[in-house]
Chains A and B, each alone.
Chain A
Amino acid sequence: MTLKYAWFPGCWVAYRMPYVEKSDRLVMERFGIEIEEMKGATCCPEAQFMEAVDRRAWLTLAARNISIAEGMGRDILTPCPGCYETLKMARGILKEDEEMAGIVGEALKKIGVVYRGTSDTTHLAGVLYDKVGIEAIRKAIVRPLTGLRVAVHYGCHLLRPSKYLDFDDPTSPRKLDELVEATGAVSVNYMRKTMCCGGPAGVVDREIGIKILREKLYWIKKAKVDAIVVACPSCYMHMDGNQPYVEEMFEEKYSIPVLWYTELLNWAMGVDPKDLKFYHRVRIDPLLEKLGLT
């Protein structure tokens, strides 16, 4: 079975977190997932901003991106839950809402684009779990991360709205936990596990974003974990980059490292953490030392 997809990194991963794409690509190469770039793709665009301001423009831009994959005869694969949400939802909405499909079709005609709705969208974690499989991943582990306790944070848009998205159960997901546990780490349960990290809210109102993040960190700290594991670039940036501001606002200490899920897979598959070139605002050196990876 060959797995071939049209690759849609999205703006965050492509230009602000290229190390995430590097890490994901290493895992895709390892498991024979073939990808090809989508020429001329733009921002998906992000629903929290574009759908909120104009739903028609949101769907038009999404349909244009999907049409590129249609021209390649492939489904879309993305590392970003935001892109996954937008592209998969847009296809679902345009299938059921004829009036909207008409408006979008009219706008696309002006730039010479035809949208057919033939390409679906998947998040990489979904392909790893559903197509590659936990067994194959477990077999590839050469350096089990035994003793590592992590809090898995799904983020919202890998899961919801389940009316359009089908990655996992929208309120009690398991797939990302199992991917992480394949490395030998333990996924610890905690309160507010499927709650939002506050990233999108923080873009609109910084204080709200920081307060929501504190709510998450408070419960994660109680679970006594070594790290948080995420599969969303926006959650990564917010949970890692804004922890110092939570500590400042609430006069509490957290400093919980935030890891990308394929970063963890790569460590367990023998890749040197330094070669992945990640940036972690919350330093991960003590963690690497504990795992003997320095």
Chain B
Amino acid sequence: MAELLSIAKLMSKVPEIKAIIGDQKPEYCYQCAKCTSGCTAAKVVPEYKPHEIVAAVKMGMIEEIMKSGILWACSECWKCSEYCPQDVAPVEVVLALKNIAVKMGYRPPEALVEMVKNAIETGYMQGIMEVMTNEFEFVDRDSLGLPKLERPPNMEQRRAALMRFFGVVMK
């Protein structure tokens, strides 16, 4: 049987994790499932249940959750954080697990990798698109009379400062 991985064990494996994920208290959860009852993702992905993810974390089944890829179904609507009576906020646990998964070498969905790359290379996550109106007229900031936006300075330095966070993802 695979070795179970608790948050405490993870900290010794990936030392920067505590700083990355902030304060997590999954052990406060008493499985009322209020989070799952209001969960956006759970309404269309029946196997996604935030209270079960928190339970699995308490049992030390962190690697199993990461391997399943189920974490990426969370739409980050933050409803669970409002409903949770125990201040666990499953979305925060899920976000922490996403961060840890990336640090451990699990590749996030390609669309996310693409956006992170865009942000590092150009400063923007979304590329500039050609925009057409309902009258079939092409418009942009200039033609709509909007001021030009100044790009950020020192992009090279910025890239270097960011890359140290992203080693694994960008490979």
Contact = CB atoms under 8 A, between A and B. Distances in A.
Given A14-B141, A55-B20, A43 B124 contact: yes
Given A45-B119, A163-B81, A110 B124 contact: no
B82 interface: yes
Contact of B41 (A47, A171, A194, A201): A201
Nearest to B135: A274
Residue in A60, A160, A278 with the greatest tally of chain B CB atoms within 10 Å: A160
B40 interface: yes
Contact of B150 (A39, A51, A195): A39
Residue in B108, B119, B128, B166 with the greatest tally of chain A CB atoms within 10 Å: B119
Contacts of A170: 78, 82
B1 interface: no
B133 A19 contact: yes
Contacts of B3: none
Interface stretch (B5-13, B49-57, B59-67, B155-163): B155-163
A200 B78 contact: no
- Interface size classification for chain A: 35 or more
Contacts of A200: 75-76
A205 B125 CA distance: 18
Contacts of A129: none
A11 B125 contact: yes
Given A204-B112, A205-B109, A16 B129 contact: yes
Contacts of A171: 79, 82
Contacts of A108: 161
Contact of A12 (B41, B78, B91, B126): B126
Interface in B95-149: 95, 98-99, 102, 108-109, 111-113, 115-116, 118-119, 123-129, 131-135, 137, 139-141, 144-147, 149
Contacts of A16: 126, 128-129, 131
Nearest to A215: B43
A54 B115 CA distance: 12
A279 B41 contact: no
Given A54-B165, A56-B20, A196-B77, A110 B160 contact: yes
Contacts of B157: 110-112
Contacts of A255: none
A180 B12 CA distance: 53
Task: Return the 7 tightest CB-CB contacts between A and B, nearest first.
Answer: A160-B78, A42-B123, A196-B77, A201-B75, A211-B44, A196-B40, A40-B152
Interface of B: 18-22, 40-41, 43-45, 72-79, 81-82, 89, 91, 95, 98-99, 102, 108-109, 111-113, 115-116, 118-119, 123-129, 131-135, 137, 139-141, 144-147, 149-154, 157-158, 160-162, 164-166, 169
Interface of A: 9, 11-12, 14-19, 21-22, 25, 37, 39-43, 45-57, 60-61, 93, 97, 99-100, 103, 107-108, 110-112, 156-157, 160-163, 170-171, 194-196, 198, 200-201, 203-205, 208, 211-212, 215, 274, 277-280, 283-284
